Amino acid sequence: MREILKVLERDARATPRQIASQTGMEEATVAKMIAEGEASGVIRRYKAVIDWERFGDERVFAFIDVKVTPARGVGFDDVAERIYRYPEVHSVYLVSGTQDLRCVVEGRTIREIADFVAQKLSTIDRVNSTSTHFLLKKYKDDGDIFADSETDHRLMVAP
């Protein structure tokens, strides 16, 4: 199953036939294992990775570190749930270090993200502080390289 998942993780459009040829498994076995993975929730969804900047739809992303006072019986979970329910929030992680949660937030402008932090995030009970870091340039994301490599203008050396 791991081999099938690795192929799908890299290319969600891979067909059972293509996966079978890459893994040496039978196509019917691959199709059955994919269906089982979908039914059990191991395969959460299929997605495309879009370079929105190249498309011309610029977006602003920020990494927001959040310091939280944990509550007895729930720790950080209830605050994390309140945060991840906002549509602006892409990801929420419990992390080690001086902050407790790291959020990835998207907006159309820096001002929109600032308003989110000031009006929504910082007003949640037990959120003590936030630290916002704006994404300036994306080089690689989820295994995909976004940086355009420069053309090598050097002359070729022949033996």
Residue 153 pLDDT: 65
What are the 10-residue block averages of pLDDT along the chain, 159 residues in total?
A: 89 91 91 93 87 84 96 93 96 96 96 97 96 93 77 68
Quick check: helix, strand or coil at residue 145?
strand
Is 158 within the bounds of a domain? no
Q: Are residues 23 and 100 in the same domain?
A: no
Is 46 within the bounds of a domain? no
Residue 148 pLDDT: 74
Is 47 within the bounds of a domain? no
Residue 49 pLDDT: 79
pTM above 0.85, yes or no: no
Residues 62 and 134: their CA atoms lie apart, in Å, by 4
Q: Are residues 20 and 74 in the same domain?
A: no
Is 156 within the bounds of a domain? no
Residue 142 pLDDT: 78
Is 144 within the bounds of a domain? no
Q: Are residues 113 and 68 in the same domain?
A: yes
The helix or strand, by DSSP H or E, that contains position 141, with its residue range, turns out to be: strand 140-141
Looking at the structure of the chain, the number of domains it has is: 2
Q: Are residues 59 and 98 in the same domain?
A: yes
Residue 15 pLDDT: 92
Is 17 within the bounds of a domain? yes
Residue 116 pLDDT: 97
* 159 residue type, one letter: P
Is 65 within the bounds of a domain? yes
Is 79 within the bounds of a domain? yes
Residue 114 pLDDT: 96
Nearest CA to 88 out of 120, 132, 52 is that of: 120
Q: Are residues 18 and 87 in the same domain?
A: no
Task: Output the DSSP codes for 25-94.
Answer: --HHHHHHHHHHHHHHTSS--------HHHHT---EEEEEEEEE--BTTTBTHHHHHHHHTSTTEEEEEE
For residue 93, list its beta bridge partners: 102
